[in-house]
Amino acid sequence: MPALILLLALVLPALSVSPAGAEEGPPLQNERRLFQTALDALEKEQVDSARAALSELDGYPLKPYLEYRLLLAQLPSAPAEQVQRFLEHHADAHFSATLRTRWLHELARRNAWEAVRDLIREDETSIELRCLAITAQLRTGQAGGIVNRAGELWMSGRNRPTTCEPAFAMLDTIGWITPERLRQRIRLAFDEDNPALAATLARQLGGEAPKRVEAWKRAVEAPDTFLKKDADAPNDSWRADMRVDAVRKLARKDPDQAHPAWLRLRTRYAFTPEQIGEAEREIALRAAWRMDPRASGWLRAVPRAGENEELRAWKVRAALREQDWPHVITAIEAMPAAEREREEWRYWLARAREALGRKETAQALYAELARQGSGYHALLAADRLNLPYAFATNPPLTIDTRRLDALTLRPAIRRAREFRALGMIDEARREWNAALDGMDGPTLGHAARLADHWGWHDRAQVAMGRALRAGAPDLPEVRFPLPWREDVLRAASERELDPHWVYGVIRQESLFMHEVRSRVGAVGLMQLMPATATWMGGKLGRKIDPAQLTDVALNVDLGTAYLGHVRDNFDGHQAMATAAYNAGPGRVRQWQPRESALPADAWIDSIPFDETRNYVQSVLAYTTVFDWRIDGEMIRLSERLPPVPPRQP
């Protein structure tokens, strides 16, 4: 048994906290019934009935939530003192932020601009509220500094909310919105693929601008057609922008076609350094994402005006594909310090130096990186020196049971726990996240331990992630729990899958939220698309009801079946199969090397999709930790990474 697990076994019996709902007897169940009665009454707009139930809920953790709902229901007539008192007394509640925003709009409706000015904060992140703050200053005669702030909000290619209209009208009145600025914002609108805003701005600019914007729109909608018809048109600033955008759009579809088209344009017409940089960066990046062997040269040829973080990263990734170690070093060393210090680039700088025989400096970089934790590149660095992994050897956070007890008494923690007990999962998660605000690293670690003890693993991950970022020691058993162990081990065994890998996929896909649904419709622990689940069920001879995919056993059964399917598609290659689980087998085949095998670490770090690249790195690192959690020993990460074979002809 690992030392950390032994320590956990000694600590757990001493914890005075209990699982969610365990200490609640009949009195709390009665309060829950009253709470639900009040919520039902509010849904039916029966305010008096809700207020009657509320009066019997003194001391109940969620009484403030009902008060909040009552205030929302009556906000147009609510006394300002009552709302302000609620916001002050329950500032730690997540729903207070919603009430505060709604209240600011209500105050604006009442023309209570001094109240808006006093309540709004200088550090608002919402565009809507930042504009409301400017309006409040305008209405109360405190206009100092608002022109620059309003100008920053206006100068965007995105649509702005209606609360910005008074601020923008002020800019227009004082003559700040010049033809040059309108022209600049039109450029930004096309950058954001927002031709409707560009057309609105063109009408404001007048003259030939509407016709120009209409032509620009045609250029980005059908770039190949535009470039052919536009070949002999005279150049000006409008036309130059159109041509650059047409080339960029064409590059997204076909860099092979875009590259010669751009060379013809550049030899015939004048472009600014920025326009040249934009066009050549787009072509080079698109070629790199398609594994075009010309990409490295094109990336290095992009002028300085076209450089950004993405371009600098792909100079390295393209060089990795070619195992061009001198260019890997050159590209990394040319990065700004903040970028160069990322774990990924420190690892590859060490790899490149090692490949070129500079072993001493490489080993120093590996050793430093290996001490830093359980991240993918830190584990690979440890492997290069055969060092023990930091997560298995670093001392964990010391748990103080008194601190845990104190946390359970915090109102926000009590609310989060009670929301969860009632099945109000979204509210529970929001309240938990709000409860973490302002905690220091060790307190966050204790909150993670508390959530884990309650079996609330996804919120334990959130708290532990914040704790680590705040510098607290790790709790690997909290970050890598083993819920539904019987279901996972059974399904993995039936599919002859590595159970540690299955857990790695589950953690990355859903963070142990068995009921979660993604924006694109993926469901459950292993984030199955209903169509994939139905197809997989058919292969297994089972009829699948997509509505049941939140069931843990069913989801894990179908998810492991699909994971086994992609594994078999790639001859058991775990990295390739992991990428296929995320992006699909067809894309992974396109990403295979063209001619000869490639080291898996270089292949993974040159996957074109950011999401898939990060996904594979995370899943494989998690797999290694889960191996240690389940078995006490582990297969080293590098042993899971055989070379990636070239694509089949």
CB 222 within 8 A of CB 249: no
**CA atoms within 13 Å, Cβ hemisphere of 365:** 22
Q: Phi first, then psi: give them for residue 523, nearest 5 degrees.
A: -130, 140
- With a CB cutoff of 8 Å and minimum separation 6, the contacts of 419 are 62, 65, 425, 427, 428, 431
Q: What token pair was written down for 619?
A: 């899943």
Q: With contact defined as beta carbons under 8 Å apart, do 180 and 144 qualify?
A: no
Contacts 24+ apart (CB under 8 A), 189-196: 189/157, 190/157, 190/216, 190/220, 190/241, 190/245, 191/157, 192/156, 192/157, 192/158, 193/220, 194/157, 194/158, 194/159, 195/220
Contact (Cβ atoms closer than 8 angstroms) between residue 618 and residue 376: yes
Interatomic CA distance for residues 250 and 225, integer angstroms: 10
- Please check whether residue 630 is in contact with residue 482, taking contact to mean a CB–CB distance below 8 angstroms: yes
Whole-Å CA distances, 431 to 71, 92, 143, 435: 18, 9, 36, 6
CB 569 within 8 A of CB 585: yes
Residues 6+ apart with CB under 8 A from 499: 488, 489, 492, 493, 626, 630
Cβ atoms of 476 and 374 within 8 Å: the answer is: yes
Q: Cα separation of 437 and 14, whole Å?
A: 27
Question: Is 310 annotated in the active site?
Answer: no
DSSP secondary-structure letter at 263? H
Alpha-helical runs (H) found in 174-236 = 179-191, 195-205, 209-221, 223-229
Q: Which one of the listed residues 509, 515, 595, 639 is annotated catalytic?
A: 509
- Reduce the DSSP state of residue 422 to 3 states and report it: coil
Q: Is 523 helix (H, G, I), strand (E, B) or coil?
A: strand
**What is the C-alpha separation between 579 and 584, in angstroms, rounded?**
7
CA angle (53, 43, 521) in 5-degree steps? 130
Residues noted as catalytic: 509
